Amino acid sequence: MTATQAFIAACADVLGAAHVLTDAHDTEPYLVDWRKRYRGRACAVLLPADTAQVAAVMRLAHEHRIAIVPQGGNTGLAGGATPDSSGAQAVIGLKRLNRIRGVDPHNNTITVEAGVVLSEIQARAESAHRLFPLSLAAEGSCTIGGNLSTNAGGTGVLRYGNTRELCLGLEVVTPQGEIWDGLRGLRKDNTGYDLRDLFIGAEGTLGIITAAVMKLHPAPVAKVTALAGLASPHAALDFLSMAQHHAGALLTGFELMSDFSMRIVGKHFPQLRYPFAEPHGQTVLLELSDSESDAHARALFERLMEAALDEGIVENAVVAENLAQSRAFWDLREHIPLAQAEEGLNIKHDIAVPISSIGRFIDETDAIIAKAVPGARMVTFGHLGDGNLHYNVQAPEGVDAKRFLDEFQTPINALVYDQVHAHRGSISAEHGLGQLKVDEAMHYKSPVEVRLMRAIKAALDPHNLMNPGKVVRADAPAAKENIA
Amino acid sequence: MTATQAFIAACADVLGAAHVLTDAHDTEPYLVDWRKRYRGRACAVLLPADTAQVAAVMRLAHEHRIAIVPQGGNTGLAGGATPDSSGAQAVIGLKRLNRIRGVDPHNNTITVEAGVVLSEIQARAESAHRLFPLSLAAEGSCTIGGNLSTNAGGTGVLRYGNTRELCLGLEVVTPQGEIWDGLRGLRKDNTGYDLRDLFIGAEGTLGIITAAVMKLHPAPVAKVTALAGLASPHAALDFLSMAQHHAGALLTGFELMSDFSMRIVGKHFPQLRYPFAEPHGQTVLLELSDSESDAHARALFERLMEAALDEGIVENAVVAENLAQSRAFWDLREHIPLAQAEEGLNIKHDIAVPISSIGRFIDETDAIIAKAVPGARMVTFGHLGDGNLHYNVQAPEGVDAKRFLDEFQTPINALVYDQVHAHRGSISAEHGLGQLKVDEAMHYKSPVEVRLMRAIKAALDPHNLMNPGKVVRADAPAAKENIA
pLDDT, residue B474, reads 63
Mean pLDDT over B323-340 rounds to 95
Dump pLDDT digits (tens) for B343-385: 998 999 999 999 999 999 999 999 999 999 999 999 999 999 9
The answer to whether A126 touches A159, Cβ cutoff 8 Å, is no
The answer to whether B293 touches B221, Cβ cutoff 8 Å, is yes
Contact assignment for B448 to A157 by CB distance below 8 Å: no
* pLDDT surpasses 90 at B484: no
Question: Chain B closest CA to A123's CA: distance in Å?
Answer: 18
ipTM over 0.90: yes
**Residue of chain A whose alpha carbon sits nearest to that of B110:** A354
Q: Give contacts of A188 with chain B, Cβ < 8 Å.
A: 153, 157, 162, 352, 383, 386-388, 426, 429-430
Mean pLDDT over B142-159 rounds to 95
Q: What are phi and psi of A154, to 5 degrees?
A: 100, -160
Q: Which run of H or E residues covers position A110?
A: strand A109-113
Q: Give contacts of B291 with chain A, Cβ < 8 Å.
A: 245-250
Contact assignment for B197 to A202 by CB distance below 8 Å: no
The answer to whether B184 touches B170, Cβ cutoff 8 Å, is no
**Residue of chain B whose alpha carbon sits nearest to that of A430:** B190
The answer to whether B453 touches A145, Cβ cutoff 8 Å, is no
Dump pLDDT digits (tens) for B173-227: 999 999 999 999 999 999 999 999 999 999 999 999 999 999 999 999 999 999 9
Contact assignment for B191 to A104 by CB distance below 8 Å: no
Cα A186 from Cα A140, distance rounded (Å): 28
pLDDT, residue A35, reads 86
Contact assignment for A427 to B191 by CB distance below 8 Å: yes
Cα A74 from Cα A27, distance rounded (Å): 13
The answer to whether A224 touches A296, Cβ cutoff 8 Å, is no
pLDDT, residue A374, reads 95
Long-range contacts of the stretch B50-54 (C-beta < 8 A, 24+) = B50/B96, B50/B97, B50/B113, B51/B97, B51/B113, B51/B171, B51/B173, B51/B179, B51/B210, B51/B211, B52/B179, B53/B14, B53/B15, B54/B92, B54/B94, B54/B97, B54/B173, B54/B208, B54/B210
Q: Give contacts of A174 with chain B, Cβ < 8 Å.
A: 448, 452
Question: Chain B closest CA to A226's CA: distance in Å?
Answer: 19
Q: Give contacts of A177 with chain B, Cβ < 8 Å.
A: 483
Contact assignment for B164 to A194 by CB distance below 8 Å: yes
Q: Residue B151 carries which DSSP code?
A: T
Alpha-helix residue ranges (DSSP H) falling in A344-446: 358-372, 401-422, 438-444
The answer to whether B288 touches B297, Cβ cutoff 8 Å, is yes
Q: Give contacts of A355 with chain B, Cβ < 8 Å.
A: 106-108, 187
Cα B423 from Cα B361, distance rounded (Å): 7
Minimal Cβ distance to A448: which of B180, B426, B456: B180
Contact assignment for A218 to B245 by CB distance below 8 Å: yes
One digit per residue, pLDDT tens: chain A, 484 residues? 899 999 999 999 999 999 999 999 999 999 999 889 999 999 999 999 999 999 999 999 999 999 999 999 999 999 999 999 999 999 999 999 999 999 999 999 999 999 999 999 999 999 999 999 999 999 999 999 999 999 999 889 999 999 999 999 999 999 999 999 999 999 999 999 999 999 999 999 999 999 999 999 999 999 999 999 999 999 999 999 999 999 999 999 999 999 999 999 999 999 999 999 999 999 999 999 999 999 999 999 999 999 999 999 999 999 999 999 999 999 999 999 999 999 998 999 999 999 999 999 999 999 999 999 999 999 999 999 999 999 999 999 999 999 999 999 999 999 999 999 999 999 999 999 999 999 999 999 999 999 999 999 999 999 999 999 999 986 544 443 333 3
Determine which of B107, B162, B190, B360 to mutate to test the interface with A (most A C-beta atoms within 10 Å): B190
The amino acid at B32: V
Q: How would you label B310-321 residue by residue, b for 16+ Cβ within 10 Å and e otherwise? A: eeebbbbbbbbe
Cα B167 from Cα B184, distance rounded (Å): 10
3-state secondary structure (DSSP) of residue B104:
strand
Question: Chain A closest CA to B357's CA: distance in Å?
Answer: 8
Minimal Cβ distance to B191: which of A183, A191, A433: A433
Dump pLDDT digits (tens) for B421-471: 999 999 999 999 999 999 999 999 999 999 999 999 999 999 999 999 999
The answer to whether B143 touches B81, Cβ cutoff 8 Å, is no
Determine which of B65, B111, B173, B187 to mutate to test the interface with A (most A C-beta atoms within 10 Å): B187
Minimal Cβ distance to B448: which of A180, A244, A353: A180
Minimal Cβ distance to B181: which of A109, A430, A446: A446
Instruction: Tell me the domains of chain A and their CATH numbers.
Output: 3-93 (3.30.43.10), 100-218 (3.30.465.10), 220-335 (3.30.70.2190), 344-432 (3.30.70.2740)
Query: Closest Cα to residue B32, out of B66, B67, B68, B75?
Result: B75
Determine which of B164, B170, B193, B208 to mutate to test the interface with A (most A C-beta atoms within 10 Å): B193
Q: Give contacts of A244 with chain B, Cβ < 8 Å.
A: 108, 218
Contact assignment for A193 to B198 by CB distance below 8 Å: yes
Q: Give contacts of B385 with chain A, Cβ < 8 Å.
A: 187
pLDDT band at B483 (very low <50, low <70, confident <90, very high): very low
Determine which of A184, A191, A195 to mutate to test the interface with B (most B C-beta atoms within 10 Å): A191
Mean pLDDT over B24-39 rounds to 95
Q: Give contacts of B473 with chain A, Cβ < 8 Å.
A: none
Contact assignment for A220 to B179 by CB distance below 8 Å: no
Minimal Cβ distance to A106: which of B108, B355, B484: B355
The amino acid at A373: V
| Total CB pairs under 8 A between chain A and B | 298
The answer to whether A140 touches A147, Cβ cutoff 8 Å, is no
**Residue of chain A whose alpha carbon sits nearest to that of B188:** A429
pLDDT, residue B473, reads 84
pLDDT, residue A475, reads 53
The residues near B341 (Cβ < 8 Å, ≥ 6 apart) are none
Q: Which run of H or E residues covers position A233?
A: helix A233-247
The answer to whether A457 touches A438, Cβ cutoff 8 Å, is no
Minimal Cβ distance to A352: which of B189, B195, B449: B189
pLDDT band at B35 (very low <50, low <70, confident <90, very high): confident
Q: Give contacts of B250 with chain A, Cβ < 8 Å.
A: 248-249, 291
Minimal Cβ distance to B188: which of A174, A387, A462: A387
pLDDT, residue A154, reads 87
